[in-house]
Amino acid sequence: MTVEVGLRERKKAATRAALSAAANRLAVELGVEHVTVEAIAAAADVSPRTFHNYFSSREEAIVASIVDWADRLTDELEKRPADEPMWDSLQRVFLDSVDESPDGHARLIRQLEMIKANPAVIASQLSALETMRRRFAETIAARTGTDASIDLYPHLIAGAAGHAVKTAMDLWALGQHDRPLRDLIAEAFTLVRAGLPQPDPSRS
Protein backbone atom coordinates (compact mmCIF):
# COMPACT_ATOMS: atom_id res chain seq x y z
CA MET A 1 0.00 0.00 0.00
CA THR A 2 2.81 2.42 0.88
CA VAL A 3 4.47 1.78 -2.48
CA GLU A 4 1.18 2.40 -4.31
CA VAL A 5 0.57 5.63 -2.43
CA GLY A 6 4.12 6.79 -3.15
CA LEU A 7 3.76 6.02 -6.85
CA ARG A 8 0.41 7.81 -7.01
CA GLU A 9 1.84 10.90 -5.33
CA ARG A 10 4.81 10.95 -7.70
CA LYS A 11 2.49 10.72 -10.69
CA LYS A 12 0.40 13.60 -9.35
CA ALA A 13 3.51 15.70 -8.75
CA ALA A 14 4.74 14.93 -12.28
CA THR A 15 1.38 15.94 -13.79
CA ARG A 16 1.33 19.18 -11.80
CA ALA A 17 4.89 19.98 -12.87
CA ALA A 18 4.07 19.25 -16.52
CA LEU A 19 1.03 21.53 -16.43
CA SER A 20 2.98 24.30 -14.71
CA ALA A 21 5.85 24.07 -17.18
CA ALA A 22 3.47 24.09 -20.13
CA ALA A 23 1.55 27.07 -18.79
CA ASN A 24 4.70 29.06 -18.16
CA ARG A 25 6.21 28.22 -21.54
CA LEU A 26 3.06 29.10 -23.47
CA ALA A 27 2.64 32.35 -21.53
CA VAL A 28 6.19 33.42 -22.38
CA GLU A 29 5.93 32.34 -26.02
CA LEU A 30 2.40 33.52 -26.85
CA GLY A 31 1.49 36.05 -24.17
CA VAL A 32 -0.88 35.27 -21.33
CA GLU A 33 -3.92 36.62 -23.17
CA HIS A 34 -3.46 33.98 -25.88
CA VAL A 35 -3.11 31.02 -23.51
CA THR A 36 -6.12 28.86 -22.71
CA VAL A 37 -6.67 26.05 -20.26
CA GLU A 38 -7.28 23.76 -23.22
CA ALA A 39 -3.93 24.69 -24.77
CA ILE A 40 -2.09 24.11 -21.48
CA ALA A 41 -3.76 20.74 -21.00
CA ALA A 42 -2.97 19.69 -24.57
CA ALA A 43 0.68 20.70 -24.18
CA ALA A 44 0.90 18.57 -21.03
CA ASP A 45 -0.98 15.71 -22.73
CA VAL A 46 -3.88 15.70 -20.26
CA SER A 47 -7.53 16.75 -20.39
CA PRO A 48 -8.87 20.18 -19.34
CA ARG A 49 -10.72 18.37 -16.58
CA THR A 50 -7.40 17.09 -15.26
CA PHE A 51 -6.04 20.63 -15.38
CA HIS A 52 -8.82 21.78 -13.06
CA ASN A 53 -7.94 19.03 -10.61
CA TYR A 54 -4.67 20.89 -10.01
CA PHE A 55 -5.26 24.57 -10.74
CA SER A 56 -8.20 26.96 -10.60
CA SER A 57 -6.91 29.22 -13.39
CA ARG A 58 -4.22 29.59 -16.02
CA GLU A 59 -2.60 32.32 -13.91
CA GLU A 60 -2.28 29.98 -10.94
CA ALA A 61 -0.65 27.37 -13.20
CA ILE A 62 1.75 29.93 -14.68
CA VAL A 63 3.21 30.85 -11.27
CA ALA A 64 2.92 27.37 -9.72
CA SER A 65 6.68 26.93 -10.08
CA ILE A 66 7.10 29.50 -7.28
CA VAL A 67 5.04 27.35 -4.92
CA ASP A 68 6.95 24.22 -5.96
CA TRP A 69 10.25 26.09 -5.49
CA ALA A 70 9.10 27.06 -2.00
CA ASP A 71 8.35 23.42 -1.22
CA ARG A 72 11.82 22.34 -2.32
CA LEU A 73 13.51 25.14 -0.38
CA THR A 74 11.47 24.35 2.73
CA ASP A 75 12.56 20.71 2.51
CA GLU A 76 16.19 21.79 2.18
CA LEU A 77 15.85 24.23 5.08
CA GLU A 78 14.51 21.47 7.30
CA LYS A 79 17.59 19.37 6.48
CA ARG A 80 20.08 22.03 7.62
CA PRO A 81 21.91 21.41 10.93
CA ALA A 82 19.74 22.33 13.91
CA ASP A 83 22.56 24.36 15.49
CA GLU A 84 23.30 26.37 12.34
CA PRO A 85 22.36 30.08 12.63
CA MET A 86 19.02 30.68 10.93
CA TRP A 87 20.35 33.30 8.51
CA ASP A 88 23.21 30.99 7.48
CA SER A 89 20.72 28.21 6.73
CA LEU A 90 18.47 30.52 4.70
CA GLN A 91 21.36 31.93 2.69
CA ARG A 92 22.70 28.46 1.96
CA VAL A 93 19.42 27.03 0.64
CA PHE A 94 18.72 30.08 -1.50
CA LEU A 95 22.23 30.18 -2.97
CA ASP A 96 22.11 26.47 -3.77
CA SER A 97 18.85 26.96 -5.68
CA VAL A 98 19.86 29.69 -8.14
CA ASP A 99 20.55 29.15 -11.84
CA GLU A 100 23.20 31.57 -13.12
CA SER A 101 23.57 30.02 -16.55
CA PRO A 102 22.94 32.14 -19.66
CA ASP A 103 19.79 30.12 -20.33
CA GLY A 104 18.64 30.69 -16.75
CA HIS A 105 19.24 34.42 -17.09
CA ALA A 106 17.32 34.64 -20.36
CA ARG A 107 14.47 32.53 -18.96
CA LEU A 108 14.16 34.73 -15.88
CA ILE A 109 14.05 37.89 -17.99
CA ARG A 110 11.28 36.47 -20.17
CA GLN A 111 9.29 35.36 -17.14
CA LEU A 112 9.59 38.72 -15.39
CA GLU A 113 8.54 40.57 -18.53
CA MET A 114 5.56 38.27 -18.96
CA ILE A 115 4.49 38.65 -15.32
CA LYS A 116 4.85 42.44 -15.25
CA ALA A 117 2.70 42.78 -18.37
CA ASN A 118 -0.24 40.93 -16.82
CA PRO A 119 -1.97 42.20 -13.64
CA ALA A 120 -3.77 38.89 -13.12
CA VAL A 121 -0.48 37.01 -13.17
CA ILE A 122 1.05 39.57 -10.80
CA ALA A 123 -1.78 38.87 -8.35
CA SER A 124 -1.17 35.12 -8.63
CA GLN A 125 2.57 35.68 -8.16
CA LEU A 126 1.98 37.68 -4.98
CA SER A 127 -0.29 34.92 -3.68
CA ALA A 128 2.39 32.32 -4.44
CA LEU A 129 5.05 34.40 -2.71
CA GLU A 130 2.80 34.76 0.33
CA THR A 131 2.40 30.98 0.43
CA MET A 132 6.17 30.70 0.29
CA ARG A 133 6.60 33.15 3.17
CA ARG A 134 4.13 31.26 5.38
CA ARG A 135 5.82 27.93 4.76
CA PHE A 136 9.21 29.38 5.54
CA ALA A 137 7.83 31.02 8.68
CA GLU A 138 6.51 27.68 9.94
CA THR A 139 9.88 26.00 9.37
CA ILE A 140 11.75 28.89 10.98
CA ALA A 141 9.42 28.77 13.96
CA ALA A 142 10.12 25.07 14.44
CA ARG A 143 13.87 25.71 14.24
CA THR A 144 13.85 28.68 16.62
CA GLY A 145 11.32 27.58 19.23
CA THR A 146 8.86 30.31 18.27
CA ASP A 147 5.18 30.05 17.39
CA ALA A 148 4.22 31.03 13.84
CA SER A 149 0.63 31.61 14.96
CA ILE A 150 1.51 34.41 17.38
CA ASP A 151 5.19 35.42 17.07
CA LEU A 152 6.45 38.06 14.66
CA TYR A 153 10.00 36.72 14.44
CA PRO A 154 9.55 33.77 12.05
CA HIS A 155 7.37 35.81 9.70
CA LEU A 156 9.74 38.79 9.65
CA ILE A 157 12.76 36.59 8.98
CA ALA A 158 10.94 34.68 6.23
CA GLY A 159 9.68 37.89 4.63
CA ALA A 160 13.05 39.65 4.79
CA ALA A 161 14.90 36.68 3.32
CA GLY A 162 12.39 36.20 0.52
CA HIS A 163 12.36 39.88 -0.39
CA ALA A 164 16.16 40.05 -0.33
CA VAL A 165 16.36 37.21 -2.85
CA LYS A 166 13.58 38.60 -5.06
CA THR A 167 15.25 42.02 -5.14
CA ALA A 168 18.60 40.50 -6.10
CA MET A 169 16.98 38.40 -8.83
CA ASP A 170 15.08 41.40 -10.22
CA LEU A 171 18.24 43.51 -10.45
CA TRP A 172 20.20 40.64 -11.96
CA ALA A 173 17.54 40.03 -14.57
CA LEU A 174 17.51 43.71 -15.55
CA GLY A 175 21.17 43.38 -16.50
CA GLN A 176 22.27 46.70 -15.02
CA HIS A 177 25.61 45.10 -14.07
CA ASP A 178 27.52 41.91 -14.70
CA ARG A 179 27.80 40.69 -11.11
CA PRO A 180 26.87 37.04 -10.54
CA LEU A 181 23.45 36.41 -9.02
CA ARG A 182 24.99 34.52 -6.11
CA ASP A 183 27.06 37.59 -5.22
CA LEU A 184 24.00 39.82 -5.27
CA ILE A 185 22.05 37.44 -3.03
CA ALA A 186 24.98 37.13 -0.63
CA GLU A 187 25.28 40.94 -0.43
CA ALA A 188 21.53 41.29 0.09
CA PHE A 189 21.68 38.88 3.04
CA THR A 190 24.70 40.69 4.47
CA LEU A 191 22.91 44.04 4.34
CA VAL A 192 19.70 42.70 5.86
CA ARG A 193 21.56 40.87 8.62
CA ALA A 194 23.45 44.08 9.43
CA GLY A 195 20.18 46.00 9.80
CA LEU A 196 20.45 47.77 6.42
CA PRO A 197 23.02 50.41 7.44
CA GLN A 198 22.82 53.57 5.37
CA PRO A 199 25.56 53.68 2.69
CA ASP A 200 28.33 56.25 3.10
CA PRO A 201 28.28 58.48 -0.03
CA SER A 202 31.93 59.39 0.53
CA ARG A 203 32.91 55.80 -0.28
CA SER A 204 31.23 55.79 -3.67
**Tens-digit pLDDT profile for residues 78-98:** 999 989 999 999 999 999 988
Q: Which residues form the domain of 5?
A: 1-58
Domain count for the chain? 2
Mean pLDDT of the chain: 89
Can you tell me whether residue 112 is helix, strand or coil? helix
Q: Which one-letter amino acid corresponds to residue 184?
A: L
Residues 77 and 133 in one domain: yes
pLDDT tens-digit map of 27-69: 999 989 999 999 999 999 999 999 999 999 999 999 888 888 8
Residues in CB range of 82: below 8 A, 6 or more apart: 143
202 within domain boundaries = no
DSSP letter assigned to residue 201: G
* Residue 189 and residue 161 in contact, taking contact as beta carbons nearer than 8 Å: yes
Distance CA 159, CA 148 (A): 13
Distance CA 32, CA 86 (A): 38
201 within domain boundaries = no
* Residue 132 and residue 67 in contact, taking contact as beta carbons nearer than 8 Å: yes
pLDDT tens-digit map of 130-156: 888 999 999 999 999 999 999 999 999
Distance CA 114, CA 124 (A): 13
How close are the terminal C-alpha atoms of the chain, in Å? 64
Residues 71 and 149 in one domain: yes
Residues 168 and 90 in one domain: yes
pLDDT > 60? residue 129: yes
Torsion sign across C-alpha atoms 91, 97, 102, 106: negative
Residues 184 and 112 in one domain: yes
Give the Å distances, CA to CA, from 123 to 36, 79, 127, 129, 173.
18, 31, 6, 10, 20
DSSP letter assigned to residue 169: H
Residues 173 and 73 in one domain: yes
